[in-house]
Structure 1
Amino acid sequence: MSWPAPDQDQEYLEQVLQQTRDAMRHLREAKRVIGEIEGKGEAADGMILATTDAGGSIRRIDINPRALRLDTTTLSREVIRAIQAAQEASARQAKEIVDGVAGHVGLLPEPLDETFVQHRIEAAARDLYSGGL
């Protein structure tokens, strides 16, 4: 891993903080947009319409009175088809949003770890022993 020079630590930290703020802004926006998702599905030639949220929970089912002419087995199968189509649509929309924000969050630098601190201590010790401090 390549670290910033000690005299660039402040600038590096400010850059990381700004990148983190930007990533958090993108995540908050993604969360808001995901909360507004409505997946729509239909079955029985459009006589049954279902709406779900991003998590797949059913928000609404509309059944045209003509669909009630179907036998109960067919009607229940068609309702399930409409719900599944709506859930797939909402899942697809949520995935697109998550994939879009992942590019912004993925731009964050690797976190500094104990090897960074060790590197800084060793550099300071070298400077101290060589009279650089």
Structure 2
Amino acid sequence: MTTPPRRTPVQGMRRGVLACGLFGTLALTVVGALAKGSDGALSALAGALLAFVVILVGLLAITVIVDGDPAVSMAGAGVVYLGQLILLVGALLALHGASWLDGEITAFSAVVATVLLQAGQVTGYVRSRHVIYPQAGRA
């Protein structure tokens, strides 16, 4: 008799990130265009897509962590979150001197997109059905 595969919250988190990421990227690009024209739209799009990619890569890492030992999954997810923020700030600092981007719009867009993406990720986690402590029923 085989045990059924463990349900993880990652699929719900992915749905939340994709929904918020697509909506947020579109909305922030429009706001950037209204604020500073085509340069603002490009800068807002760059910031939002940067945050979107960083959060999606973090979800891949969380998938690996959740498949491992359940006792360390929350600590591992915390490390991934911290790594995402460090990577995002590093990328923004690297793009700071780019002449083709408006730094303020890019940074604003990246910060707002990160908050939206994290809200989508948390909402997906909360709404997903998964076992909190899989060893609870075993003796």
Which interval holds the TM-score relative to the shorter structure?
Answer: 0.3 to 0.5
| TM-score with structure 2 setting the length | 0.35
Greater strand fraction, Structure 1 or Structure 2: 1
Question: Highest relative contact order (Cα 8 Å, sep 6+), 1 or 2?
Answer: 2
| TM-score with structure 1 setting the length | 0.36
Pair member with larger Rg = 1
